[in-house]
Amino acid sequence: MGRDPPAWAPLRRSMFRALWLAQFAGNVGTWAQTVGAQWLMGDLSTSELAVALVQVATTLPVFLLVLPAGSLGDIVDRRRLLLAGQTLMFLGAGTLAALTAAHTITPASLLALIALMGVGQALCVPTFQAIQPELVDRDEIADAALLNGVNFNVARAVGPALGGLLIATVGPAATFALNATSFLAVLAVLVRWRRPQDRRPLGVERLRAAIRAGRRYVGSAPRFATVLVRSALFMVFASGLWALLPALARYQLRLDAGGYGLLLASVGLGAVLGAFGVPRLRERIGTDAVVSWSGFAYAVAMAVTGLTSSTAVAVVALLVTGVAWIAVQATLNASAQVLLPAWTRARALAYFQLVFMGGQALGGLGWGLLADLASLRAAFVVAAAALAAVTAVSMRVLPLGETGVDVSTARHWPEPVAETRPDPTDGPVLVIAEWSVPPENAAAFVRAMRPVGRARRRTGATSWGLYQDVANPTAFVETFTVATWEEHLRQHYERGTAVDGELEAYAYGLTANAGEPHVRHLIRQRGFPQ
């Protein structure tokens, strides 16, 4: 028997396969419902603003709630959170179907129910990404991200066409009923999933503290920040294609709804073709080169799409954009996932989603305005040229670098020495580590401690510093503060990673006798200003 193509290997994992198929049904239902909701609003109101508000009601809750939802995904059981989010969306779609079938739906209730479903989507989006490393092996994460991208893009081609067919033959209520049914498929898989229980020695984090911890992590993780910036730069310019494609189909190519569906299907087919080629390409030229050269390919294909008046040429060009889109998005998504430890994966991936959505929104607005002020062709060409330019700059200034770091949980700090038992809410906590460093190692020690300082901030430190004694140049003092004693204990027991331990071990090796530092923990007394 032959081996599965690399990209399809995750489908051999039974739970990943079941969830992937269920999500495909959910994605198709969501896209079909989008068409149904916009069509229904057009029947209920003659206001163009009302139709536009359907999209606002869909995306605004996700934009507003994705960061706290990501934090929830790290502090509660992820399976239960997904069940809650999918249930909310099922109830919203089911109620929408019932009210529409009974002819009692109003513009206000339509928007309210869509917004309710947006809340459910916000709960699910970062957590669905965060569970991928739990479903497949680490070396299959990139292929899993590729398959999830194929899932979304094929559904984007199938869903609107199916929605249009249902509206024409049955009515908008059928699209909402289809979507409700699709959520039942996802719920059935999640109910069957026997996810191992999370190990939290210190119990559940408070939501506000978890959000702050996620923000600190993202701000002190340069590799992950590079992925965010590369994603933002790509999305702002690449989103021009998605924003302008309906106008291109209607006005430049003079296509009807079926023709527009053909264009979307071309992108979806390109994504499927990309699933076969991208893994092999990644093995040959590396992650960074895949993202960069795919960005160039997308830019060229977008320019061709915007300039042509031939449907055949546009279809071929959109096939290329589908391949390039999936290559960039899946590779960046996988890079983000493998860089993040389990304790912060969902909340950090929420920032990835925020960048993705924000880039689409800003780009769509900007390129739409340019098309109105200049022309459709000009907007396509300027967006394509700008994408090519930022890709060229990113290759040199923002390389993705190594993503094979070991972020598995590793407890490498000794038990904190404390004669008293501080209350978990006591703080701030000042941690002082005294190091003795031979003069010949001093410069190397300072360099080695910089990434150690970032690691302290990633795991909870609100400030960090390294000092050298002017009277005894071999004496170095490291200080960092943590908001509470509980946060510091989480640094000891829950947030350490193997790569952080390696950074500290290297610094230890530069000290006198390669020994561990003398550490003290001080807690600010109550009643004194900070």
Nearest to 495 by CA among 214, 279, 258, 301: 214
Nearest to 231 by CA among 141, 127, 329, 324: 329
Instruction: Write the Ramachandran bin of 427: left for phi over 0, alpha for psi from -120 to 50, otherwise beta.
Output: left
Mean pLDDT of 311-325: 94
pLDDT beyond 70 at 6: no
pLDDT beyond 60 at 46: yes
Task: State pLDDT tens for residues 294-316.
Answer: 999 999 999 999 999 999 999 99
Task: State pLDDT tens for residues 376-419.
Answer: 899 999 999 999 999 999 989 988 876 668 888 888 777 777 77
The predicted pLDDT at position 3 comes to 47
Q: What is the residue whose two structure tokens read 């605004």?
A: 60
- Quote the CA–CA distance of 357 and 424 in Å, as a whole number: 37
Pair 486, 442: CB distance under 8 Å: no
Residue 484 phi, psi (nearest 5): -140, 165
Mean pLDDT of 249-262: 80
Contacts of 87 (CB under 8 A, 6+ apart): 120, 183, 187
- Quote the CA–CA distance of 83 and 86 in Å, as a whole number: 5
And the tokens for 470?
């002017």
98 falls in which pLDDT band (50, 70, 90)? Answer: very high
DSSP string, 35-47: HHHHHHHHHH---
And the tokens for 314?
């546009």
161/84: higher pLDDT: 84
Task: State pLDDT tens for residues 25-39.
Answer: 999 999 888 888 877
Nearest to 455 by CA among 493, 491, 408: 491
Give the SS3 label for residue 415. Answer: coil
The predicted pLDDT at position 83 comes to 95
Whether the ω angle into residue 428 lies within 30 degrees of 0, i.e. cis, is yes
* Pick from 125-134, 258-267, 299-308: least confident: 258-267
Give the orientation angle of helix 257-285 with respect to helix 311-339, to 10 degrees.
50
Task: State pLDDT tens for residues 410-468.
Answer: 887 777 777 778 888 888 999 999 989 999 999 999 999 999 999 999 999 999 999 99
112 falls in which pLDDT band (50, 70, 90)? Answer: very high
Contacts of 400 (CB under 8 A, 6+ apart): 223, 226, 227, 230, 287, 288, 291, 335
Q: Residue 497 carries which DSSP code?
A: B
Mean pLDDT of 257-261: 74
274/382: higher pLDDT: 382
Give the orientation angle of helix 257-285 with respect to helix 222-247, to 10 degrees.
150
Nearest to 306 by CA among 378, 237, 372: 378
- Quote the CA–CA distance of 316 and 321 in Å, as a whole number: 9
Mean pLDDT of 75-92: 94
- Sheet with strand 429-436: strands edge to edge: 461-468, 475-482, 429-436, 518-523
Over the chain, what is the mean pLDDT? 87
| Strand-pair partners of 478 | 433, 466
The predicted pLDDT at position 527 comes to 61
494/529: higher pLDDT: 494
Task: State pLDDT tens for residues 470-486.
Answer: 999 999 999 999 999 99
Pair 119, 88: CB distance under 8 Å: yes
C-beta atoms surrounding 95 within 10 Å:
18
Angle at 191 between CA 188 and CA 194, to 5 degrees: 135
Length of the chain (residues): 530
Residue 496 phi, psi (nearest 5): -70, 145
The predicted pLDDT at position 63 comes to 84
And the tokens for 246?
């309906």
Position 279, amino acid: P
